[in-house]
Amino acid sequence: MNKNFNKNFLIKLINEPGPSGYEENVQKIWADEVKKYCKNLSSDVHGNLTATLNPEKEFSIMLVGHSDEIGLVVSYIDNDGFIYFNSIGGVDPSILGSQRARILTGKGIIEGVFGQKSLHQEETSGRKLPKYHDVFIDIGAKNKAEAEKLIMIGDPVIFGNDYKDLLNDLACARCFDNRIGIFIVAEVLKKLSKEKFNTKVYFVSSVQEETGVWGAGNAAYNLNPTMAIAIDVMPSTDYPGVSKTQFGETTLGKGPVFRRGVRTNKKIADKMISVAKKKKYVYQIDMDNGKFGTDSDPISVIKSGIPVGGLEIATRYLHSSEEVLSLKDLETSIDYLSDLILEIDKDQKFLN
């Protein structure tokens, strides 16, 4: 496979901690890369970043991914120095036990382990899935005072592992959701920065999608684009135990997934499919029953409503410590979105 993208940039984005509300370091990495290709870079009070090509043009496309990941936040430290927490976004507490924890403090990253009652210490037949208050973080502190010298209530925590290549152009990491979105946005910008075309394109790295899907809405309100395309991951159904009759069919390595349905703008969806066919890209389709659960949602209702489409990357084991996707799908999506924007540029009236 010819990986026509900057893999070192991808790995750097993935490995940097950045749960919702604490995306600053991730955004700095993104900005430092993007400004090599686009000098028109701005931010808003919430931390959304926007790079703009052809700012003087009227017809505009907003291409957006979100920079944040799920995580945890410190809520209590007991007298023995054990640290309790609550969630940032959708975290399953049953997957935390025995994993490493990284607490992001003002003094740097403090490492620990997630602890819970050992299997030897309870009746296994009656064992229940743990709730948040059943799991804690052990940093080795002797007592509360020692822990509080390093950690404060409100410090964010991440779990899971950094980037790793697997077989057959697959890769795993804790937060492909949704660093791959902002990675794709940046790589499309790089390709289009070398082209001449007459469409204004906003390339947006948004914040706080995992905690209410709202950051991109603020950016869209400010930018007011003619149309938008949100890029995210979605659960694949190509592994054991997942019902295709319930969740549809999406597979790693078979191209990006386009949304069709209720909230998706029909003309944008049709355009995305027609360009994929014309340019001979592999692609998949998933239904939209009125709620994406991605940046598309707030964008679609801003002001009088912005027509929006969705492109997603099929990913296994979402919101876990090891998400898995296909690098081939990333490459296809970058090339496809670049071609899509150039094709829309030739037919700016397709939304009329």
Query: Which residues are annotated as catalytic?
Result: 209
What token pair was written down for 85? 């927490």
DSSP assignment of 265-294: -HHHHHHHHHHHHHTT---EEEEE-S--SS
- Separation of alpha carbons 240 and 260, rounded Å: 26
CB-based contact 270:259 (threshold 8 Å): no
* Residues contacting 245, CB < 8 A, separation 6+: none
* Residues contacting 148, CB < 8 A, separation 6+: 77
Helix (H/G/I), strand (E/B), else coil: 175: coil
Which helix (H) or strand (E) covers residue 149, if one does? none
Q: What letter would DSSP give residue 110?
A: E
Which helix (H) or strand (E) covers residue 29, if one does? helix 24-34
Helix (H/G/I), strand (E/B), else coil: 192: helix
